[in-house]
């Protein structure tokens, strides 16, 4: 026979169950009231990842780089999602897919709980997969231009001679050749370069969505002088002197060397390694000058190419110095104040081109002390030189600063006014 507690439990079980359910409902209601669920769009676009791609395949075509995700979650969870950018991940799984076009669902994972993904935009993406292929091509060397006059090119050398092109099958199929381009215009010595290898289609356009390995090829080409030709340097010959107060700072020749020719190879071989210009007269020059100069060549020897060279003469004024003493001028002081300077004259050393210094008039130069913003009292102020020619510079100012005492200006006495005498004082009438 059941005991009294069991009988009581049996009679009140439905009541207890109902109380428990009501308690749970109240608890859930309280939680929802305090931390309600909210459905929102995740504030940032989520990067779409690709996973599970077969190594022998390549994804081609356009796939969305990002997706938009809407989530239902309590407000407290949204706080976590908003301030942590790595809590939401989106990807498409390409595992087991072969070459061809596929429609793949977007998967989303939210690393916060409780949270539920309510929508993804887009929900599915179309992915096109192609076989990853590699093909070998012979490098086609394209040489443009010709060596300098009097030179001939030898046999080119290229290393390697073949390359591998890798990419999607449809892209590799576009490649009909791989070229290496080099320009040897006016070359007069051995050429050594690293050439970029370009995959080209039937129209000569570069195929960009493939990889060329190696990407560079070593190119070597010998360039030698023909018989009867010789490359020599140019020596400039000058006469006379530049204008007084100036000097010749530099001589530049373009080109610095030239190719000479003779039907008698012995004549060019006997040259000392240089040829001279016909004399260039410098007399009276006072500025940079460009001159076309002809060359003084032995009989039977001619210049291959241009008949002259460009000689650039750089001429500058001689530098000198000029010591002068300048009085100080006060600026920036209001009329109710005056200034006492110590010293009131400053030594200045000027430097610059001698022709300008020799014609410089010190009376046209100002040396000022700017007292703007300064009040009563004693100050140390640096003097500043003004109205100086642009090509002249200040070597030093001595002293570098002067002492300035700013005081109130004396009140001017009105004309004809005579002060009242003090007792016992003698007043002399003003004339």
Question: Given this model, what pLDDT does residue 282 score?
Answer: 92
Question: Given this model, what pLDDT does residue 197 score?
Answer: 95
Question: Given this model, what pLDDT does residue 419 score?
Answer: 45
**Residues 220 and 138 occupy one common structural domain:** yes
Segment 238-266 shows an average pLDDT of 88
Question: Given this model, what pLDDT does residue 415 score?
Answer: 56
The Cα–Cα gap between 191 and 195 comes to 12
- pLDDT higher at 280 or 421: 280
Q: Is the predicted pLDDT of residue 316 greater than 50, yes or no?
A: yes
Q: Six-digit token pair at 269?
A: 């071989």
Question: Given this model, what pLDDT does residue 12 score?
Answer: 65
Segment 4-12 shows an average pLDDT of 66
Question: Given this model, what pLDDT does residue 32 score?
Answer: 52
**Residues 273 and 235 occupy one common structural domain:** yes
DSSP E strand boundaries for 318-412: 319-331, 337-342, 345-353, 366-370, 377-381, 384-386, 393-398, 402-408
- Report H helices in 146-285: 169-172, 265-269
| Residue 110 is assigned to a structural domain of this protein | yes
**Beta strands at 177-183 and 191-200: parallel, antiparallel or unpaired:** antiparallel
Question: Given this model, what pLDDT does residue 205 score?
Answer: 93
CATH code for the domain of 86: 2.170.120.30
The Cα–Cα gap between 317 and 228 comes to 45
| Residue 285 is assigned to a structural domain of this protein | yes
The per-residue pLDDT of the chain, averaged, comes to 84
* Residue (of 361, 368, 387, 359) closest to 327 by Cα position: 368
Residues with Cβ within 8 Å of 276's Cβ and at least 6 positions away in sequence, in order, are 234, 235, 236, 237, 295, 296
Q: Is the predicted pLDDT of residue 428 greater than 50, yes or no?
A: no
Tell me the DSSP string of 53-118: --TTEEEES---SEEEEEEEEEHHHHHHHHH-TTSEEEEEE-TT--SEEEEEEPEEEE-SSS-EEE
Question: Given this model, what pLDDT does residue 208 score?
Answer: 86
Residues with Cβ within 8 Å of 168's Cβ and at least 6 positions away in sequence, in order, are 58, 60, 130, 131, 132, 133, 209, 210
| Residue 12 is assigned to a structural domain of this protein | no
Segment 208-233 shows an average pLDDT of 89
Question: pLDDT tens across 146-190, in order?
Answer: 988 888 889 999 999 999 999 999 899 999 999 999 999 988 889
**Residues 355 and 340 occupy one common structural domain:** yes
H-helix or E-strand spanning residue 362: none
| Residue 30 is assigned to a structural domain of this protein | no
Whole-model pTM: value is 0.51
Q: Six-digit token pair at 58?
A: 């390549």
Q: Specify whether the CB–CB gap between 193 and 182 falls below 8 A.
A: yes
Segment 129-133 shows an average pLDDT of 91
Q: Specify whether the CB–CB gap between 242 and 281 falls below 8 A.
A: no
The Cα–Cα gap between 81 and 75 comes to 10
Segment 279-304 shows an average pLDDT of 91
| Domain coverage including residue 65 | 37-122
| Residue 165 is assigned to a structural domain of this protein | yes
Our count of domains for the chain comes to: 4
CATH code for the domain of 193: 2.170.120.40
CB atoms within 10 A of CB 18: 10
Tell me the pLDDT band of 137, cut-offs 50, 70 and 90: very high
Question: Given this model, what pLDDT does residue 396 score?
Answer: 84
Question: Given this model, what pLDDT does residue 139 score?
Answer: 95
| Residue 11 is assigned to a structural domain of this protein | no
Q: Six-digit token pair at 125?
A: 């993406």
Question: Given this model, what pLDDT does residue 181 score?
Answer: 95
Last residue of one domain, picked from the residues 317, 343, 375? 317
Q: Is the predicted pLDDT of residue 292 greater than 90, yes or no?
A: yes
- The torsion of the CA quartet 358, 364, 367, 369, rounded to 10 degrees, works out to -170
* Residue (of 148, 301, 153, 299) closest to 228 by Cα position: 301
Question: pLDDT tens across 12-44, in order?
Answer: 666 767 766 766 555 555 555 556 778 888 888
**Residues 333 and 277 occupy one common structural domain:** no
The Cα–Cα gap between 254 and 290 comes to 11
**Beta strands at 124-144 and 177-183: parallel, antiparallel or unpaired:** parallel
Question: pLDDT tens across 352-407, in order?
Answer: 888 888 888 888 888 999 998 888 888 888 999 888 888 888 888 888 888 889 89
Last residue of one domain, picked from the residues 317, 347, 380? 317
Last residue of one domain, picked from the residues 225, 259, 274? 225
| Residue 13 is assigned to a structural domain of this protein | no
Tell me the pLDDT band of 273, cut-offs 50, 70 and 90: confident
Q: Specify whether the CB–CB gap between 189 and 225 falls below 8 A.
A: no
**Residues 144 and 70 occupy one common structural domain:** no
| Residue 413 is assigned to a structural domain of this protein | no
């Amino acid at each position: 026979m059941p005991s009294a507690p069991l009988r009581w439990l049996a009679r009140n079980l439905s009541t207890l169950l109902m109380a428990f359910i009501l308690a749970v409902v109240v608890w859930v209601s309280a939680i929802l009231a305090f931390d309600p669920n909210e459905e929102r769009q995740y504030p940032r676009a989520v990067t779409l990842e690709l996973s599970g791609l077969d190594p022998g395949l390549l994804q081609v075509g356009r796939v969305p780089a990002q997706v938009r995700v809407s989530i239902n979650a309590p407000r407290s969870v949204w706080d976590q999602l908003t301030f942590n950018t790595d809590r939401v991940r989106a990807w498409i799984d390409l595992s087991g897919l072969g070459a061809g076009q596929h429609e793949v669902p977007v998967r989303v994972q939210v690393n916060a709980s409780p949270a539920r993904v309510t929508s993804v935009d887009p929900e599915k993406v179309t992915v096109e997969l192609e076989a990853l292929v590699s093909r070998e091509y012979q490098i086609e060397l394209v040489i443009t231009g010709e060596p300098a006059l009097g030179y001939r090119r030898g046999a080119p050398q290229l290393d390697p001679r073949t390359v591998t092109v890798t990419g999607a099958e449809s892209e590799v199929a576009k490649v009909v050749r791989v070229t290496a381009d080099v320009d040897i215009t006016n070359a007069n010595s051995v050429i050594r370069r690293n050439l970029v290898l370009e995959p080209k289609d039937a129209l000569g356009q570069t195929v960009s969505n493939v990889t060329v390995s190696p990407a560079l090829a070593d190119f070597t080409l010998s360039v030698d002088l023909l018989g009867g030709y010789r490359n020599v340097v140019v020596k400039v010959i000058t006469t006379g002197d530049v204008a007084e107060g100036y000097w010749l700072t530099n001589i530049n020749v373009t080109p610095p060397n030239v190719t000479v020719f003779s039907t008698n190879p012995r004549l060019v071989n006997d040259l000392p390694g240089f040829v001279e210009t016909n004399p260039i007269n410098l007399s009276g020059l006072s500025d940079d000058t460009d001159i076309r100069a002809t060359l003084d060549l032995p009989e039977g020897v001619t210049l291959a190419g241009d008949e002259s060279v460009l000689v650039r003469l750089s001429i500058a004024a001689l530098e000198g110095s000029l010591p002068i003493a300048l009085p100080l001028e006060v600026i920036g002081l209001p009329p109710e104040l005056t200034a006492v300077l110590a010293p009131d004259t400053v030594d200045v050393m000027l430097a610059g081109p001698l022709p300008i210094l020799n014609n410089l008039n010190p009376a046209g130069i100002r040396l000022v002390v700017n007292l703007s913003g300064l009040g009563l009292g004693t100050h140390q102020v640096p003097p500043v030189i003004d109205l100086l020619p642009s090509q002249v510079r200040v070597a030093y100012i001595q002293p570098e600063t002067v002492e300035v005492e700013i005081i109130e200006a004396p009140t001017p006495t009105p004309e004809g006014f005579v002060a009242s005498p003090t007792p016992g004082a003698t007043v002399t009438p003003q004339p």
